Amino acid sequence: MAEAIASVFGIITFVTQIGVRLFELREFYKQVKSAPSDIETLLSDCERLDRALDGLKLQCRQIASLGIPNTVYNECLDSCGTALRKLESVAAELRSGMSKSKFMGSLEAFLRKDEVCKQKEQLRTAKVDVLFASQILSKSVHI
């Protein structure tokens, strides 16, 4: 009797493990399938941020022409631009891989998602620095 119960528990455990693995496989498939659109969205976001940074750099030059020091703001803009270029580079590599083979490129995007997340986090930090420096500069202009 104990052996039968142990066998039933063994079967239940096995079926549960199969269910978990199937769920993980399904999630993996979804992520690989959505990779091309995710990369295109990321590149589009990068282009938009690049245009915004260009506008901020122009503003920075105008402020400098008034004789107001803005070295920290410039450094933050440069840092943000550098982080943006790194993220764009990774995303462009991934898009290039997808253009050669959609499945293999999508798989590569999935495998490099940690790298993309790291670059996104660096960019997010640089954007916060720009906002902070912008607020400080804005207060110094209005004083």
Domain of residue 62 covers 35-142
Q: Let me know if residue 68 belongs to a domain.
A: yes
pLDDT score for 47: 95
Q: Let me know if residue 46 belongs to a domain.
A: yes
Structural domains of the chain, count: 1
- Domain with residue 79: its CATH number is 1.20.120
Q: How far is residue 73's CA from residue 2's CA, in Å, rounded to a whole number?
A: 73
Element (H, E) at 67: none
Q: Let me know if residue 23 belongs to a domain.
A: no
Residue 137: burial class (beta carbons within 10 Å; 0-12, 13-18, 19+) = buried
* Phi-psi domain of 67 (left: phi exceeds 0; alpha: psi -120 through 50; beta: other): left
Q: Let me know if residue 10 belongs to a domain.
A: no
Q: Let me know if residue 13 belongs to a domain.
A: no
Q: Let me know if residue 51 belongs to a domain.
A: yes
pLDDT score for 131: 92
State if pTM tops 0.85: no
Check: CB of residue 73 under 8 Å from CB of residue 79. no
> In tens digits, what is the pLDDT along the chain, a chain of 143 residues?
767 777 777 788 887 888 888 888 888 778 777 778 889 999 999 999 999 999 999 988 888 887 777 888 899 999 999 999 999 999 999 999 888 888 888 888 888 999 999 999 999 999 999 999 888 888 776 65
Sign of the C-alpha dihedral, residues 88, 89, 91, 92? positive
Q: Let me know if residue 120 belongs to a domain.
A: yes
Q: Let me know if residue 4 belongs to a domain.
A: no
Check: CB of residue 39 under 8 Å from CB of residue 96. no
